[in-house]
């Protein structure tokens, strides 16, 4: 069995399409998404229509941008560009997609095979996990062997060995890591729709449960068409520009 792991789609249709067509050849039968389906980008309905129709077993949780775009929060904690995009999204969502966003579950959520899912951290949807110290605080509190998170938009791999020592890496290229017995892991697949690790390619991951491995993958997509859609919608230019820089 294989699981497609995605996060932080951010209403970027071309990036999502590129990831799904790349992943299709890998044979994943389940999908996990750690939230931020929308926000920043100008194609929220296109992205939500697509993810709602994905086949196979699905686990979706809410991200902080989904929370604001759905109206559950006024976005006062956001910077100006993020808030502008979230309010624009709320005004442009179809009835079905607004309902979908409102019904997303707040993490943490555990899958039927014991993987813990969260948007920021299991403590807080808005908390960023950057460091080995952050990873340590989570792994000492939560017993799962594997925790999947998003929110930082940085593909990241943290491993805790049998003695409790933690090492972490930013994974900027396609790479495979083994999931070994006696070790525990905290993994962020990176962002589909707005990568921030200075690699503008869309990021995602596949977990191969038989081989006990996680594949970090990167895919090119039509950045220009996404930028044009953002500008056409009248959203802040910075949201278009940063896609080309992957920052």
Residues near Fe ion (CB under 5 A): 8, 36
Closest contact distance (angstroms) between CB of 19 and Fe ion is 15
Which two structure tokens, joined as six digits, stand for 195? 């990568």
Sequence-ordered list of residues with C-beta below 8 angstroms from that of 72, at least 6 positions apart, any chain: 102
Asked if 202 and 193 touch (Cβ cutoff 8 Å), the reply is: yes
Give the whole-angstrom CA distance, residue 124 versus residue 102. Answer: 18
Asked if 148 and 117 touch (Cβ cutoff 8 Å), the reply is: yes
Closest contact distance (angstroms) between CB of 82 and Fe ion is 9
Closest contact distance (angstroms) between CB of 39 and Fe ion is 7
Selection from 181, 185, 188 nearest residue 150 by Cα: 188
**Shorter beta-carbon distance to Fe ion: residue 168 or 193:** 193
Closest contact distance (angstroms) between CB of 219 and Fe ion is 18
**Shorter beta-carbon distance to Fe ion: residue 40 or 59:** 40
Closest contact distance (angstroms) between CB of 55 and Fe ion is 25
What are residue 170's phi and psi, to 5 degrees?
A: -90, 130
**Torsion angle of C-alpha atoms 202, 208, 214, 218, degrees rounded to 10:** -20
**Shorter beta-carbon distance to Fe ion: residue 38 or 223:** 38
**Shorter beta-carbon distance to Fe ion: residue 43 or 160:** 43
**Shorter beta-carbon distance to Fe ion: residue 65 or 218:** 65
Closest contact distance (angstroms) between CB of 201 and Fe ion is 17
3-state secondary structure of 173: coil
Give the whole-angstrom CA distance, residue 159 versus residue 151. Answer: 19
Strands (E), the chain: 2-6, 30-33, 57-60, 109-110, 116-117, 146-148, 156-160, 166-170, 175-178, 184-188, 202-208, 213-219
**Shorter beta-carbon distance to Fe ion: residue 127 or 136:** 127
**Shorter beta-carbon distance to Fe ion: residue 36 or 134:** 36
Closest contact distance (angstroms) between CB of 153 and Fe ion is 6
The DSSP secondary-structure symbol of 210 reads T
Residue nearest to Fe ion (CB): 36
């Amino acid at each position: 069995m294989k699981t497609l792991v995605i996060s932080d789609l951010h209403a970027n249709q071309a990036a999502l399409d590129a990831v799904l067509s790349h992943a299709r050849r890998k044979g994943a039968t389940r999908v996990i998404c750690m939230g931020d389906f929308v926000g920043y980008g100008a194609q929220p309905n296109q992205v939500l229509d697509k993810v709602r129709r994905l086949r196979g077993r699905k686990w979706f949780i809410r991200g902080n941008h989904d929370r604001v775009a759905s109206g559950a929060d006024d976005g006062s904690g956001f910077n100006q560009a993020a808030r502008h995009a979230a309010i624009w999204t709320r005004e442009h969502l179809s009835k079905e997609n607004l309902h979908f966003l409102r019904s997303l579950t707040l993490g943490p959520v555990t899958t039927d095979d014991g993987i813990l899912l969260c948007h920021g951290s299991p403590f807080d949807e808005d908390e960023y996990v950057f460091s080995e110290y952050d990873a340590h605080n989570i792994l000492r509190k939560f017993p799962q062997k594997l925790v999947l998170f998003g929110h930082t938009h940085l593909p990241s791999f943290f491993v805790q060995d049998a003695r409790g020592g933690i090492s972490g890496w930013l994974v900027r290229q396609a790479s495979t890591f083994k999931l070994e017995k006696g070790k525990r892991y905290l993994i962020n697949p990176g962002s589909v729709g707005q990568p921030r690790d200075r690699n503008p390619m869309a990021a995602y991951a596949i977990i191969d449960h038989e081989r006990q491995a996680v594949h970090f993958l990167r895919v090119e997509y039509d950045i220009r068409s996404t930028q044009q859609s953002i500008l056409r919608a009248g959203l802040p230019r910075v949201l278009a520009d940063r896609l080309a820089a992957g920052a």
